[in-house]
Chain A
Amino acid sequence: MDIAFLKLLGIVILTAPLGGALVCGALGPRRLKDRTHWASIFGVGAAAAAALALLTQVVGAVRTSQTSGHEAGGSHVSATIPVYDWIATGARPSASPPVAAPIKGLPREDARLPHAPMELSSPSWFRVEFLVDPLSAIMLATVTCIALLIVIYSRDYMRHHDHAERGYERFFAYLALFVFSMCALVLGGNFLLLYLGWEAVGLCSYLLIGFYYGKPSAAAAAKKAFLVNRVGDFGFGLGILLIYITFGTLSYHDVFDMIARNVDVTGAALDPSKLTTLALLLFCGAAGKSAQIPLYVWLPDAMEGPSPVSALIHAATMVTAGVYMIARCGAIFVHSETAMLVVAVIGGCTAIFSATIALVQTDMKRILAYSTISQLGYMFLALGVYAADSAVFHLFTHAFFKALLFLGAGSVMHAMGGVIDLRQFSGLRHALPKTCKLILIGSLALAGVPLFSGFFSKDEILHHALSVHPALGIMGLVTAALTAFYTFRMFFMAFAGPLRVPEGVHPHESGSWMILPMSLLAIGAIFAGYLGVGFVGRPFHAFLEPVFHNTFLASTLHGAHEVVAAAPAGHAGAAISTGAAAGFMAEYGLLLASGGLAILSILAAYVVYGKNPWIAATVRATAPRVYGLLWNKYYVDEAYDLALVRPLRALGRLCFWLDEYIVDGLVWLIAFVPQAMGYGARGVQRGALQGYGLAMGVGLAIVVTVVLTW
């Protein structure tokens, strides 16, 4: 692994989409017009090629280190590559921060050696730097490849009757800008760049949700997304400041190194409660970006954006940034049992909570949105039970099948003339045969039907959850059943039954620009899961092992990995013991159970929505309150409006009133004093000569008297 080459690849990954965005924006409106998509395709394509090259480099490095460094108990493959000095204040660091050798077969004992206290200076010297390791490599490859497929898909989607829609070039510029931002988020080697990418993807999300800005609902949804994210980012930003205060640096490498050595910037031992605070603050940001309770409310509304955007940003990539961040900061999280518990509980609750809402919604994209929230909940649950590799694995498989489902929904919407309400159409399998098959594949994967990718990754999470927090694991199982049910409810409502379409719509199958990317995603949705299957050696997990072996995997009995010496703080996971045989039984039992549940739920959905639609109506009629509660999404939006937005607005009005009348009034009062004195003295200066003469005489008399008597 050659550092200069990696740096070059990193620069290509960032600049190619950025350049694409600039070309779209600058040349799109006048020159390129209907061909603007090429600029975006080339930009993102170059980034995808570079990301795959990066991935092969890292795969090679992991292979070498695993064969050579196995004796030392794990290997560490990561490279921090400085690019240039960005925000530079304070004294320049005397020696440039250690640039990790690309392959560092560091024996674990070395990391625990006591170190001399750091000197009392904290150079606030922030540079643009890349962190290349298996986690960032796999994320980059996923993001850029899926983005490329979606950009290709958008070429047709953003046209009607082969005429580019209004804002065609704007759309492709934003899309390429998003890819740049997301890559910056993933590739950045310090918390400041993470924050940069974090805010920049938020911006792109804002711009793309509000793409149809003429629609008030779209404009409102965009604003809501940005603001809710900002609330999370508030905590996230404070967390970053606190990291700086505690460690005197924001570089991942240095921060995690100091945690491993258990020192803070003053050289004292770390305060565990501080790490908990840190982890919880960072989690605020993750909850915002990845739409977890209580900040999930923006994601369903985000479906106002065009479907490719929902697929790319609000399903496959951006919303997983929170998962990536926690996986990246494992060193911080695993030292706090509280934080890990919070992550797990929030994840588990979000998963089941949003799955129940999805049961009754009729907007196809919103169902998928709630399903995304629910699946993200799974990923957080996995992180919370120390199974970060399973979380990333689920992130990886989810990216394929959820992007596929959203693109499928887009295809339906395209055919239905913009209508996406499931009550408006049915029996589309006749009109859209290809889309139907592709959505079926995506649904099977999402439902967790055996042999599809979602099955393997979800099952792993359930396995770990059951062994660490059984209650959360059972919640996960219930969620799995609900997931299969609502997914196929959606599928049967749209595709089963007699053909029925909204008035004036002539359904047509999408063209190959749209079908081809969906087909490629479908291949991923079927086969991506096999990268994590035990009998092929779990290559995905083995690849990620160097990233997590000191953090998540060191903290619990987990899969086939050995337990390594417990880190300074004790962990819940370490108390769990699973004998090899019992583990084997449990694992296969669970496989059967979750697979069976999925199939049963699909059958139930078929009975209710495919065959006997009256059952659903009866259920709705018998429990109108429950139905209403779910239909109105537990009234959370209304509650937020009542509890937060209105009081704040009122406070704003109060401030303005105070400003107009009290604060300004006081100032006028002060100004009035000299004026009043002037009024008082006005009587003296009436312009009457007698008065002046009198005053003069009296004054003179007084002066003379005083002088004479002195």
Chain B
Amino acid sequence: MILKTSLRNFLSHKGRMALSLIAVVLSVAFVSGTLVFSNTATSTFDKLFAATASDVAVAPAPPSGDDSGQGQDTSGRTPTIPASVEQQVAAQPGVKETVPHVSATTATLVNPKTNKAVGPTTGAPTIVGAWTPGPRTPMKITSGAAPVGPGQMMIDADTAAKAKLHLGDPIRVIGERGTFDYTISGIATFTGTNPGAALAFTDLPTAQQDLLGSTKLLTGVDAYSDGSKTNDQLKAEVSAALGNAYQVKTSAEQQADNAKGVGSFLNFMKYVMLGFAGISLLVGGFLIINTFSMLVAQRTRELGLLRALGSSRRQVNRSVLTEALLLGVLGSTIGLLAGLGLALLLIQLMKGAGMTLSSSLEITSSVPIASYAVGIVITMLAAWIPARRAGRVSPMAALRDHGTPAEAGTNKVRIILGLLVTLGGAALLAVGGTSKDLGQAGSDLGLGVVLTLIGFVVLGPLLAGVAVRVLGAALPALFGPSGKLAQRNALRNPRRTGATAAALMIGLALVTGASVVTNSMVASTSEQIDKQVGADYIVTVNHGGLTAPMIDAAKGTAGISHITELRELMATLTLPDGSVVKHQAVSAVSSTFTQDFAVPVSTGSTDGLVNGGISVDQKFAKDHKLGVGDKVTVDYGSGRTQQLPVGLITSTGNTIFDNHLYATIDTVAKAVPQDQQPLDVMVFGRAASGADKAKTLTALQNSFDAYPQVSVQDQAGYKKIVQQQVDSLLTLIDGLLALAIIVAVLGVVNTLALSVVERTREIGLLRAIGLSRRQLRRMIRLESVVIAVFGALLGTGLGLAWGITAQQVLKGQGLNMLSVPVSTIVWVLIGSAVVGLLAALLPAFRAGRMNVLAAIATD
């Protein structure tokens, strides 16, 4: 019986359920889409790695202190092994075949015709190496031929297509050992998945000569077993034969390492998408609560009749929950299917970014389980409160004249509870913002954010009452009777107004908070640059490092007084107190460094750094009880060790010096010869006194003409680049904002549409006594705008509190400056008014079209 009435009710309220359904569908689609996409991607890569990993691979030993197993030093020089290792491996019993490898990720591919870099800009590597096909090479030549001899090169098909390169076209490689020109002899295509990298191959001797500088070197050897031994046995024997100067990995270990590399990227995508799902779930929950509350309110009389006829509270309660269940099941089903579409869309997007994934979707049982669980649980939870209210409807309601319920007041318990939670959250934010301990401050911040959010949602109805009175005070004056009626309507059910606005609040709070943080990031970085950088020009490189010819070109530029180089070495430090710091970067700089940067001297002097010492920041010194003159042992790996006295301690609060250790290139060269040091990651230029700074900038840029991967900026330009990097982060936040707003708009539309239905008689009366259609529509639009602006105010207020607290917490971490994005906030508020107008379009149109007589006659 219950199922039947529920089903009938559900079907008879199709229109009203539609918007809630969309909310459920959106959230579930994100959940299922994320799972399917990441499953598909993971399985694609697992297959690729499983198919390409050799049985045992030999690679150079990882740099000092690097336990990650990746073994590649991106800014440095390509690590090598002697070519003779291949023979040693091949000589092992059980090894059927060996394949020598040369590959470097430090080189840049350039199209000489356009002088532009070729290859991915998304962070995926450009790999230049030798074409040494083995049993598991994932590529085959699809046009032209394999490269032979110096001057010939083969590139992968995707890169060729993207850069519009064809057989016979010239191509250039700018590597750590110089610039080399080739002609494209062939194009190779991935047989399976293209992981997104750009690949270029020469023959083995050419690669050895051009990339490594000697035909006696390789970057790795792959070995294939004849099947007589397991990979582990083979690894053990190869390791024993070679000694521990190399890294030897089995097939399984290679796969695990590779998966780790891709996994972090996929995980990032997964969390972003689950973030979307979470937001739409949260916001959608409010939509569902509102829908069911209104449906219950409208049916008060009907429910009263059911009770009068003998239905128990539980039965009434259950009939509402059954409707929610139907909504949840339907929404989850559609959402699950929409999720598959979303996954396909993402795969297409990845293809656009250069990563080809298997187009057969990997749908494990976890996908439907998670989809239905999320969709049904959220719907049932959201419907729970209205369902309880339905159960409490008294049989007397059937006898009352009007179905319209009494206006719900805000109850005291709710206010007290809301105040307590909000104040608790605010206190935590305050404590977190002033706390010295970063970890503690972070958890205070997190909990504070959650509590203030819950508090605001609980207090929503109360705040709605206050805010709408204030916000709406101007409405009657500005818009006459429509304004007055709109204000009263927004006030009549504060709980509904509160819940509708809360949906908008959540999204806007997140966005405002995030944009305060990112804005502060830009401001802080700019301030740090102003404060600490004295150099006129900043030279950065996109790929690989800055080679000696590049530096020479820069030094020879007219108007440049000097160039300061900066390179980074990984080292293990042993300190006087006996503690050992692993995987610590030591920055090696030219001695002109102290002229180009405002060094914040705490103890010691800049001379202490220039004259063979090392500089540490105050915090490092304090943590390890270091004083000026104390000796630090620096181990750069491969037995290259030196003892350096602390010559300078820098004060904290300066991002360029905090957590950084500096020594001059000459000092480091005593342990690591110049030609073994990594390449420069950045260099700085100073204009000669009297030189025209703008002209010198152009001249310096011209000096790097042959190197499209290098970018030369003055301070203003460099700040702009920092801004751009932050902006790309903001794009992601904007995506979140868009989704949150879409769902919130659905919520406002839903509330208004249901309110219009609920107030049919009132609208009829108003029309009868002379309210014009235009005035009626304006009334509904204004109500909508009031709700939206109220939500936006709550959201930006909350977001500001979060953002400012986050900035305070991160004050010591480079976020020294607070910068509030005033224009963003103003736009958000204006935008919310527009959102309100848009949301009211349809409900206002429907209300305007109502037949006056029919509306009056409505029961």
Q: Do A and B come from one complex?
A: no
List residues of A whose CB falls within 8 A of some B CB.
Answer: none
